[in-house]
Amino acid sequence: MHTSLTDPPPTGTATDPTRATAGEEELEDQKAAITHLGHELRALVEATVRTAASPDTLHRVADGVRAVTSQLTGRQRSRAEIPEVDEFPTGTRIYSPVTGAGSPLAPPVQVTPTADGLVGHCTPGIAHEGPPGYGHGGMSAMLLDELMGRACAAAGTPGLTVSLQMRYHRPVPLETPLRILARVTGTDDRKIFVSGSITTQTDPDANLVTADGVFIAPDPHRTRTLFPGLQAER
């Protein structure tokens, strides 16, 4: 199982299949299929919020979507279950609403390490709109919360957000490639202090949104209670 924070591209995977064992190959096939469906669903979501189709067309499409949904049958993941393809808490979260290649809600953000933290790249669409043409403020908070949480995990101290101070300097343009930075700035016992920012990729010196967060590394007993799937499967 690879440990990269970067999710696989829409078609195929980043891992050389000739080096994978049988079990790993199955997981890579699963990841590729989940990614394929996520890609198509994101296109459907974006088309849904942009279309000017007639009521007849919308009703027909809604019926078609219901028929498609009914095909996703069989065993359903339980609430606390960690997907087999995931690498919690430091790697792939395939259904994350921020980074998940399999999530119709995610932009999705591609995450890579930097010298002192993480950088994320994504291009949110109209589905993530707040003010007309600009990103929803809650979406910016979600992008930063995730990247800052991942920066804690990448630094070896996974933690949960207890405080997230947001500052919105300029509106975030949609359909524009964005850069999200996150880095751990300090620790105090179980407290982890993290900063983050969102800029466009073309103007990385102009902060659109900045954030300061406090994350807490839960004690081992709390971790076992909060994440029973971690104990059962890892």
Ligand X SMILES: CCCCC/C=C\C/C=C\C/C=C\C/C=C\CCCC(=O)SCCNC(=O)CCNC(=O)[C@H](O)C(C)(C)COP(=O)(O)OP(=O)(O)OC[C@H]1O[C@@H](n2cnc3c(N)ncnc32)[C@H](O)[C@@H]1OP(=O)(O)O
Q: Which residues bind ligand X (CB under 6 A)?
A: 89, 145-146, 149-150, 153, 158-163, 189-191, 214, 216, 218-219, 222-223
CB of 48 to ligand X, least distance (A): 26
**Cα separation of 22 and 27, whole Å?**
9
Q: Which amino acid is at 96?
A: S
Residue 94 in contact with residue 5, Cβ under 8 Å?
no
**Cβ closer to ligand X: 127 or 194?**
194
Task: Give the residue at shortest CB distance from ligand X.
Answer: 149
CB of 223 to ligand X, least distance (A): 5
Q: Which amino acid is at 151?
A: A
**Cβ closer to ligand X: 10 or 89?**
89
What H or E segment, with its residue span, contains residue 195?
Answer: strand 191-200
**Cβ closer to ligand X: 134 or 152?**
152
CB of 95 to ligand X, least distance (A): 12
Over the Cα atoms of the chain, what is R_g? 19
**Cβ closer to ligand X: 61 or 214?**
214
Please give the full DSSP string across 74-99, using - where no structure is assigned: S----TTPPPTT--TTTS--TT-TTT
CB of 218 to ligand X, least distance (A): 4
Residue the block writes with tokens 């880095």:
183
- Shortest CA distance to 186 belongs to which of 119, 116, 120, 118? 116
**Cβ closer to ligand X: 130 or 229?**
229
Angle, alpha carbons 195-168-160 (nearest 5°): 40
CB of 22 to ligand X, least distance (A): 27
